Structure 1
Amino acid sequence: MQRPKKKLRIKFITEKIARITFTEDQSFKDSPSAIVITNSVFTGYRFHESETEFVICTDALKLMVNKDTGAISYYDANENLLVREPERGGKWLTRKEVYKYVYPTQTEVSVNQGIDGVRVPSAKGQRVLDRIAFEAKLEFVFSADEALFGFGSHEEGFGNLRGKSRELYQHNLKAVVPYFVSTKGYGVLIDCGALMTFHDDAHGSYIWADVVDELDYYFIWGESFDEVTRQYHLLTGKPPMLPKWAFGYIQSKERYVNAQEMIQVVSEYRRRQVPLDVIVLDWKYWPAEGGWGQKSFDPVRFPNPKAFIDELHKLGAKLMVSIWPKMTGDCPDRRELLERGLMLGDQSTYNAFNPEARQCYWEQAKRGLFVHGIDAWWCDCTEPFEADWSGAVKPEVHVRLLINTEYAKQYIDPAMINLYSLFHSRGIYEGQRSTTDRKRVVNLTRSSYAGQHRYATITWSGDICATWETLRRSIPEGLNFCVTGEPYWTLDIGGFFIRHDPTLWFWRGDYDAGCRGLTAPDLTEPDLKDTGCTDLGYHELYTRWLQYATFLPIFRSHGTDAPREIWRFGEPGTPFYDTIAHFIRLRYQLIPYIYSVAAQVTLNSYTIMRPVALDFPNDITTYNLTDQYMFGPAFMVCPVTHPMYFQRNSKPLQNAPKTRDVYLPKGNLWYDFWTEKPFHGGQTIKADAPLEIIPVFVKAGSIIPMWPVMQYVDEIPDAPYEIRIYQGADGEFTIYEDAGDGYEYEHGAFALIHLIWDDKKGELVVEKRQGSFKGMVEAREYNFVFISNTNRITKKAIYTGNLLRVSPKE
């Protein structure tokens, strides 16, 4: 469609994906996308026109375009209106000047130590006009009966985004993805790397973008949320499998200071028979001389890195190490990047947008760390700038937006300021994949963007505070992140900052007793006096947080101010310790379920952690649930987000109810996971929530594979399965098995075992195993547990890969 000075183009990628491009230039630029990687074009569409509209149809979608204004209305194949743009057009471009900063090649910068790394004050560059581009605005008219989710993880604790606004720029406390989904069965991806904002408020319903060459976006439809995500992954790439051990317990703190301390911590977990799979080495492991960010071990505190890591491996633990995009001083890594001209203008942050810089950075990480046997990367500070991370007063929303984005624009093209983490993650993934196929890439990173999932990233929510309010807000924020097709999200269990520092707006935890603050940069031996936060109010908060995190895609404890090992919260026989131990052990019992669901992420674009509303879109009561969510197809998790036992300073709470309200979606039977008592859906109940549990409900028809507690994942590869079948509805589940690490699964080296429950017949069918892999357990004991509203029946069998029928009636 063309009008004077305006051009609108619609292409179909599949029958369910329409790409819309709008420009006021003479032609479309079609610049390469950092987000979208497919070149597919679907040509089986149909076109006709009326006096007022162009109509473009596939068997799944119909787009009606107003001839006068270009406004698009989107319909499904049954003529149901999904969403529309306002009749005035809805797509707006305004020409603007785009500037860049030019720096002398030998710019010298000063640095200072920040809370989460070094801070590099702005270097002085010359601001020059680079080009003319556009700022863009895309408007929608949403239906009153739909809920919206997405745009990543932020601070405010929003669930359903109707009536809300979002500022889309990278920050310590923001992980941005320019994509949203609707309960009406569609998603919208904006192909843009610039600052954006979303509004559905008094200012209107629209997405604004700071700098674009042209407005470029994708409309995606699917019969279900999972189908929408599958189509989205056709555009942006599939998430690869993480290793099985990545779904175990990850123990971290700010920070372990030497090899001996880390070995002692893992050994103590083994002695206590509390499972652990990963221990994390935070900053300052590098040599004392030089500067920040060197990717090699200090020879004094880590004299034999390979022997140290081998010892961890013998204990059944993996090592994750933090690496940083910033380097300072005269450290060899920085010097090499500077000499090759591979730094951004601050001369401190490597230029991840440059393929040569990514390759150089990877080679540094490989020779300094990976060759010694480390297992996972923690790519910290990947925003990579934080201009507002100082001061006692938190700036207003619009002020923070300007402070952070204008700073980033000094070093990164304004059209790309949200893309640093995407390119950084690409460099790590491609570097490791080119080095070996025996270890799957694991990259824990603080920022994200559309498409980053294809590089095996896990995103965490940043340096959050230890408050009940932060815990409450984290639940919907994690959900809004995961619906964007980025499947792996986590947080710092217990919050990063525990204590309250009145001089820093972000260091506002509620608990001071026993907290030491940031680990001294020059510390070389563990501080034996640092025994942890002693406030019982914090112990309760931490315990509830860990219960919640047991049902997150990734299960990780981390923070500053005080250590987080289990013995910092008591000893066996005390309530906090016992509850923490119980939930860590439960996580390991659920590994067959979790790993199988994770396989569906890779195979079928499933989402592990999901808003209840997207599984039950016909139940509008679910639309605004912010403290309940689905964990895979079976579990509805209902965290406890208020204290019941202690206030701050260990002050006991009197007569606090030990229950919480839980809404059970209608149309289903739900089982209390702990008591196995059934409840009908469509009601709100008072669920018991003493310290020992959080309310967890299982949907009827669910099939849940479990196995015994292990000290690390796959400690006992041939352990028996317990297969729980929750009767009351038909159901199915596919158990996934593979080698647990390496990329042979990409070549078909895995096995699938499909289980089908026929509720009317009262029969479970375990189908013939499909596929195989080296080391596969050929015969395994299966203990079937049939749970109904009247009884619990157990049957045993040896599954050898052949079809098996089991009934509780026999």
Structure 2
Amino acid sequence: MKLEQVHSGADGVRLETTEGIMHIAFCTPGIARIRYTLNSELSGKASLVVVSRPVAEDILWTVVDQPGHLEISTALLTIQVDKLTCAFSYRDAEGKLLTKEPSRGGKTLERTEVYHTVFDVSADKVEIGQGADGLRARAEAINRKLDRQAYHTKLEFEWQVDEALYGLGSHEEGMMNLRGRHQYLYQQNMKAVVPVLVSTRGYGILVDSYSYMTFHDDAFGSYLWTDVDEEMDYYFIYGPEFDQIITGIRHLTGEAPMLPKWSYGYVQSKERYISQEELIATVQEYRDRALPLDCIVLDWQSWTGNLWGQKTFDPDRFPDPSQMMQSLHALNAKLMVSIWPIMGAGGDNHQEMSERGFLLGNQATYDTFREEARELYWNQANTGLFSHGIDAWWCDCTEPFEADWKGAVKPEPEQRMLINTAESKRYLDPGVINAYSLQHSKGIYEGQRSTSADKRVVNLTRSAFAGQHRYGTITWSGDIAANWETLRKQIADGLNFCVTGSPYWTLDIGAFFVRNHKEQWFWNGDYDEGVADFGYRELYVRWFQLGAFLPMFRSHGTDTPREVWRFGEEGEMIYDTLVKYLKLRYRLMPYIYSLAGAVAHRSYTMLRALAFDYREDVRVHPIDDQFMFGPAFLVAPVTTAMYYGPGSRELQGFNKQRSVYLPAGEWYDYWSDERIGGGLMIEAKADLETLPLFVRAGSIVPVGPEIQYADEQPEAVIGIKVYSGMDASFTLYEDEGDSYNYENGSYSMIEMKWCEADRILTIGKRVGSYTGMQAVRQFAVEIAAHAGRFLVSYQGDPVAVRVES
């Protein structure tokens, strides 16, 4: 491929080559949009993912013709284009190489034909089945018709030797650094795709494609491949720090809105609570035991009988939904309800969708790519559920055409990919099969926002895609199984999800499947006796400790109960340990909610791979079982059994420690305030009661009192603990907790700064206000590893506190 002509205009730089057209446009000085087509013009397609991509008029770029190559530069980024091969190289403002394509060129387009399926929609031609993963409907195809011509696209790179890559979403394999790896990118239970890569060399790549994709960095090459696209379309985002890259991603795909404060509290779920009496009684038990709780979840079959996916309450088990919600709210608890995109025949939801032609070819799953269908789906959910006062959505099975959850033997990865993508392509355009969840989430968000401004949208969803975070979603990792290997892998899966710019990820604490049903490959937990097995109780405690430091803290699963008291009684080690971390989560609520404010207002990420903060330390690149939770905490979950194996078998010879890498700097052991030098591996105490937890020197951590729900005691004294050793800062964020008034400035921020040299803590001037704000605040200042606390009365004006050594 040879460069023939260059045209620079207001919309960017057009490169005419011997094999098609390339176009480079700058969205910001550090973000370049790059397109490539073999057609005579670019497609001009509307994006489902990118919401802010016009070329900024005030961005200056230059085009310099150099011997052998072209240089297209902004103040932050230079793209060099080889004139003979059109290979791209990307450099920063100082000329440092970020990454490059192979010298022969790295962009390949291969024409492909796109077909759509024609179905016989008569009732006797639709096969209805019930699997472990819900209702399934499959229609008989009559024919396939040619729809259009498109491209397979292939984007190749030559990544650097010391470069680590992260991202692509949450998958089940537990890959951390993606170098030397291969990943299939299609939506599945336990696969949530986000087509974003982030590099420790200081850049990110967002691919604006919604078809099946693959990632390779192996013997087959180093590239991203897409199945069906109108053209190659991707964004190169310069940081160089991960937080700056995330800011760029959200500039393109939209900011994450505030979730309600209660959603950062404890969420109790199981498969399943069957009646309004059981829901209320469970919450009452938490209150009677003084165990903190903010939300309880109603899993599938809130509907009547076999009317799968009907968005109404069964009148026999939920005879008075409005009164149920009043009772739960009186207990200061919220309710999350599971809804599905697939609907069984017989209910009025299904009938209405069918009559209006809004069902896909299987005559059961609604077409979320049609705006009118999304509006109808919301109207049904509003009439049947939201109007009664429910607080949050659990959008289950948001990859509705997964087809391999059956049989005793797990299909090979290639088989799984073929089975599932083929099933999706039966009913959806092959060019959009990865975006079903994105559009489904859009309908829920826009529907609720149009109905009420008093409740923030909370949507727990099993699948995800780039940009979905702008719709108030939290993604969980699917129906995982209870074993130590899965626990360990989940950490890397969550970190790689959040590094894509999607900030909210969680999992089923304790795993969904606990027992082993050998006739079904996915039902492969290690604990047939459930909570009666001390091996499972130990595993659950470790999962619970991890969950206390995730964006959403939620227990869920089948096979065995999940309430705290099912694991023992007060005075017993396992019960007391669960309560310890449950209460710790709530004491950290001022810190956590301030992080949530930073997510919404500053494009922050609270669940952080170590490379966010220690990008240039190559020792952190492969670490897959530690992470930062906000700027202060380094969390090192225990992922091996130390006390019991399955069947309550006692283990011997474990020293109750785990190795932890502390990056450069100084650290404090959270439990003892012992100060430890960084840049080395240590052996940390890790008995069952102890999650290895460290605080970075130069941190300010606000903490609250022991509370029973997130909004309790708004007037309480807030502790300010300073971990000295370096200068520090932290912004305390507060707002009304559950409305969208913050979008109009109804919130407050108080910046706190610690000066190490002067040993002065300055609590800065409060900026902003909101209804219900505590005009006078009491802060109890404490310096780690030093005795004494200083009570400070704060009325919104700056206060300085000097602390003697």
Give the TM bin, normalised by the shorter chain. Answer: over 0.9
- Deviation of 1:793 after TM superposition, in Å, equals 3.7
Q: Which residue of 689, 697, 700 maps to 1:700?
A: 697
Please list, as runs of the form range in 1=range in 2, the aligned pairs for 1:217-296 lying within 5 A after superposition: 217-288=234-305, 291-296=307-312
Distance 2:423 2:118 in 1: 14
Match of 2:434 in 1: 418
Q: Deviations over 1:98-151 (max 9, x none)?
A: 111022454542322211211223432421111111101000111111111100
Match of 1:494 in 2: 510
Q: Deviations over 1:702-727 (max 9, x none)?
A: 00001011110111111110111000
- Deviation of 1:356 after TM superposition, in Å, equals 0.3
Q: Deviations over 1:149-190 (max 9, x none)?
A: 100000111111111111100000100000010111110000
Please list, as runs of the form range in 1=range in 2, the aligned pairs for 1:226-625 lying within 5 A after superposition: 226-288=243-305, 291-513=307-529, 515=530, 533-625=531-623
Structure 2 gaps, min length 5: 1-14
Q: Which residue of 668, 672, 675 maps to 2:672?
A: 675
Distance 1:79 1:320 in 2: 52
TM-score (norm 2): 0.97
The answer (yes or no) to whether the contact 1:5–1:26 under 8 Å persists in 2 is no
Larger deviation: 2-11 or 204-213?
2-11
Distance 1:781 1:3 in 2: 67
Distance 2:183 2:662 in 1: 29
Match of 1:2 in 2: 16
Q: Deviations over 1:476-516 (max 9, x none)?
A: 11000001111000000000000001111100000001x5x
The answer (yes or no) to whether the contact 1:468–1:642 under 8 Å persists in 2 is yes
Larger deviation: 98-107 or 299-308?
98-107
Aligned CA distance change for structure 1 residues 251 and 67 (closer, same or farther; 3 Å): same
- Deviation of 1:612 after TM superposition, in Å, equals 0.6
- Deviation of 1:53 after TM superposition, in Å, equals 1.0
Distance 1:545 1:181 in 2: 27
The answer (yes or no) to whether the contact 2:135–2:308 under 8 Å persists in 1 is yes
Match of 1:748 in 2: 745
Larger deviation: 23-32 or 33-42?
33-42
Q: Which residue of 773, 782, 785 maps to 2:782?
A: 785
- Three-state SS of the structure 1 residue aligned to 2:216 is strand
Structure 1 gaps, min length 5: 516-532
Distance 2:240 2:766 in 1: 29
Distance 1:541 1:273 in 2: 24
The answer to whether the aligner puts 1:98 opposite 2:114 as a matched pair is yes
The answer (yes or no) to whether the contact 1:320–1:378 under 8 Å persists in 2 is yes
**Equivalent residue pairs, number:** 788
The answer (yes or no) to whether the contact 1:8–1:70 under 8 Å persists in 2 is no
Q: Which residue of 153, 176, 183 maps to 2:193?
A: 176
- Three-state SS of the structure 1 residue aligned to 2:127 is coil
Match of 2:47 in 1: 33
The answer (yes or no) to whether the contact 1:5–1:25 under 8 Å persists in 2 is no
Distance 2:610 2:243 in 1: 13
- Deviation of 1:2 after TM superposition, in Å, equals 1.2
- 1:548 alignment partner AA: L
The answer to whether the aligner puts 1:643 opposite 2:657 as a matched pair is no
Please list, as runs of the form range in 1=range in 2, the aligned pairs for 1:160-199 lying within 5 A after superposition: 160-199=177-216
- 1:705 alignment partner AA: P
Please list, as runs of the form range in 1=range in 2, the aligned pairs for 1:51-90 lying within 5 A after superposition: 51-90=67-106
- 2:600 alignment partner AA: T
Match of 2:764 in 1: 767
Q: Deviations over 1:630-689 (max 9, x none)?
A: 0000000000000111011001111212000000102x1000000110111111110001
Distance 1:604 1:717 in 2: 24
Distance 1:326 1:792 in 2: 59
Q: Which residue of 169, 176, 197 maps to 1:152?
A: 169
The answer (yes or no) to whether the contact 2:139–2:361 under 8 Å persists in 1 is no
Distance 2:113 2:130 in 1: 35
- Deviation of 1:414 after TM superposition, in Å, equals 0.5
Please list, as runs of the form range in 1=range in 2, the aligned pairs for 1:688-727 lying within 5 A after superposition: 688-727=685-724
Match of 1:519 in 2: none
- Three-state SS of the structure 2 residue aligned to 1:754 is strand
TM-score (norm 1): 0.96
Q: Which residue of 112, 116, 120 maps to 2:137?
A: 120
The answer (yes or no) to whether the contact 2:715–2:777 under 8 Å persists in 1 is yes
- Three-state SS of the structure 1 residue aligned to 2:138 is coil
- 1:386 alignment partner AA: E
- Deviation of 1:761 after TM superposition, in Å, equals 1.0
The answer to whether the aligner puts 1:21 opposite 2:18 as a matched pair is no
The answer (yes or no) to whether the contact 2:137–2:363 under 8 Å persists in 1 is no
Q: Which residue of 765, 777, 800 maps to 2:795?
A: 800
The answer (yes or no) to whether the contact 2:196–2:207 under 8 Å persists in 1 is yes
Q: Deviations over 1:439-489 (max 9, x none)?
A: 000000000000000000000000000000000000011000001111000
Distance 1:348 1:594 in 2: 40
Match of 2:25 in 1: 11
Distance 2:733 2:421 in 1: 44
Q: Deviations over 1:86-109 (max 9, x none)?
A: 111100001111111022454542
Please list, as runs of the form range in 1=range in 2, the aligned pairs for 1:720-735 lying within 5 A after superposition: 720-735=717-732
Larger deviation: 102-111 or 632-641?
102-111
Which consecutive segments of 4 or more residues in structure 1 shift more than 3 A?
Answer: 104-108
- 1:465 alignment partner AA: A
- Three-state SS of the structure 2 residue aligned to 1:476 is helix
- 1:659 alignment partner AA: Q
Distance 1:338 1:63 in 2: 51
- Deviation of 1:342 after TM superposition, in Å, equals 0.3
- Deviation of 1:5 after TM superposition, in Å, equals 3.6
Distance 1:566 1:123 in 2: 47
Q: Deviations over 1:245-304 (max 9, x none)?
A: 00000000000000000100000000111100000001111122x521100001111111
The answer (yes or no) to whether the contact 1:664–1:684 under 8 Å persists in 2 is yes
Distance 1:554 1:584 in 2: 13
- Three-state SS of the structure 2 residue aligned to 1:410 is helix
The answer (yes or no) to whether the contact 2:87–2:102 under 8 Å persists in 1 is yes
- 1:4 alignment partner AA: T
- 2:789 alignment partner AA: T
Match of 1:739 in 2: 736
- Deviation of 1:240 after TM superposition, in Å, equals 0.2
Distance 2:142 2:716 in 1: 62
Distance 1:637 1:807 in 2: 30
The answer (yes or no) to whether the contact 1:658–1:689 under 8 Å persists in 2 is yes
